[in-house]
Homo-oligomer: A and B are copies of this chain.
Amino acid sequence: MSYHAVNFKDKLGLFNEQWSPKVVAEMNDYQFKVVKIQGEFVWHDHKETDETFIVLEGRLRIDFRDGYVELSEGEMYVVPKGIEHKPYAEYEAKVLLIEPRGVANTGDETTSQTAENDVWI
């Protein structure tokens, strides 16, 4: 049998759109998604689940109502469920998201940045 690893750089080379997470793997009912982000996202939360950000390339800031966290390549942060947050990147950042299957990128909000869900590459 032939088995193949998921290579993040290869997957990120397959698309250019920003704020449009692409699924690259599943573990039980969780999905791993790569995404390119630049600029400001919308304030949102996920009522039912935590959400994990791992920075693959670049720098990411996650704003909270009472502070923020900055992440560089090789760093991760778990946003607890129900906590309002707003991702931001001055320059394009490449990020691995981990969250349960079916979670919308803008939470309960539907905005121009709401992406189609469950898109595999």
Which A residues fall within an 8 A CB radius of B?
1-9, 24-28, 30, 32, 49-52, 56, 62, 64, 66-72, 74-78, 81, 98-100
Question: What is the CB-to-nearest-CB distance from A53 to chain B, in angstroms, rounded to a whole number?
Answer: 9
Could you tell me the dominant secondary structure of chain A's interface residues? strand
- A5 and B69 form a contact (CB under 8 A): yes
* Cα(A69)–Cα(B72), bound, Å: 29
Considering the complex, give the chain B residue whose CB is closest to the CB of A9. Answer: B74
Q: Are B27 and A52 in contact (CB under 8 A)?
A: yes
- The answer on a CB contact under 8 Å between B1 and A75 is no
A sample of 23 cross-chain residue pairs with beta-carbon separation below 8 angstroms, ordered by A number, consists of: A1-B66, A1-B67, A2-B67, A3-B62, A3-B68, A5-B69, A5-B72, A5-B75, A6-B76, A7-B75, A8-B74, A8-B76, A24-B76, A25-B77, A25-B78, A27-B50, A27-B78, A27-B98, A27-B99, A28-B50, A28-B81, A32-B78, A56-B74
Q: A27-B98, A98-B27 are in contact. Are A5 and B50 (CB under 8 A)?
A: no
